[in-house]
Copies of this chain bind each other. A is one copy, B any other.
Amino acid sequence: MINKMDKREFKNKVYGELAKTTKALANPHRMEIIDLLAQGSFPVETIAQYTGMSIANASQHLQVLKSARLVDTTRRGNFIHYHLANEKVFQTWRSLRELGIAHNAEVEKLMNDYRKGYHPLEPIAADELLKKIETGKVVLLDVRPEEEYARGHIHRALSMPIDQISKRIKELSKDKEIIAYCRGPLCVYADEAVELLTKTGFSANRMVEGFPDWQAKGYPIE
């Protein structure tokens, strides 16, 4: 029962602080960074390249995320690697992503239109895929960069990074349906893979979600 803070002042401060954390998330570049960091840790240069930003700009956005404690750093040799501060950050990003997709008709339209530029199929959801795997008639293809596959991947998935598929396509059999997956629903590597595969006569489709989502659902990984 010490000195009572004014009620309005208390609320202004609390909601103000909560808004600060949310503001750190509320930027297109920073959202793309969070989405990338859901795969693991990366140095500034990689992040800048992948998101199409200048290094200084990427660094600045990373500082914003860091001071909001959403990401953290680890030094490895000459490089500083950024990674999500913890699981809760990823959960919240998922929540915002789902909310955005559900509430913003424009997002859904963009996703559909873009995908249809590559293949006409409706992507398959993680839980459907899980059932399908049990039938044994599916091959899972992880088309992310090799290094990300190495950090963790779906149980029994084959690694075939998007920029190697055309060369290595003969390794695949046409007897089974191929399901490609990548980083997440906003990642387009899997769509590019599906286009390449169907063009070559394979029966292929993509999974909506990515590896981090699969993992978050508690489905089998390696």
Residues of chain A whose beta carbon lies under 8 Å from any beta carbon of chain B: 1-5, 7-8, 10-23, 25-32, 35, 51-52, 68-70, 85, 88-89, 91-92, 95-104, 106-107, 110-111, 113-114, 116-120, 186, 188, 195
Question: For residue A19, which residues in chain B have a CB less than 8 angstroms away from its CB?
Answer: 26-28, 30-31
Q: Is the interface of A mostly helix, strand, loop or mixed?
A: helix
Chain B residues in 8 Å Cβ range of A21: 96, 99-100, 103-104
Contact of A17 (CB < 8 Å), options: B20, B22, B32, B104: B104
Contact among B17, B23, B99 for A88, CB-based, below 8 A: B99
Q: Are A11 and B186 in contact (CB under 8 A)?
A: yes
Contacts of A35 in B (CB 8 A): 15
- Asked if A188 and B7 sit within 8 Å, CB to CB, the answer is yes
Is A110 touching B13 in the complex (CB atoms < 8 A)? yes
* Closest B residue by C-beta to A89: B99
Smallest Cβ-Cβ distance to A5: which chain B residue: B114
**Which chain B residue shows the least CB distance to A8?**
B52
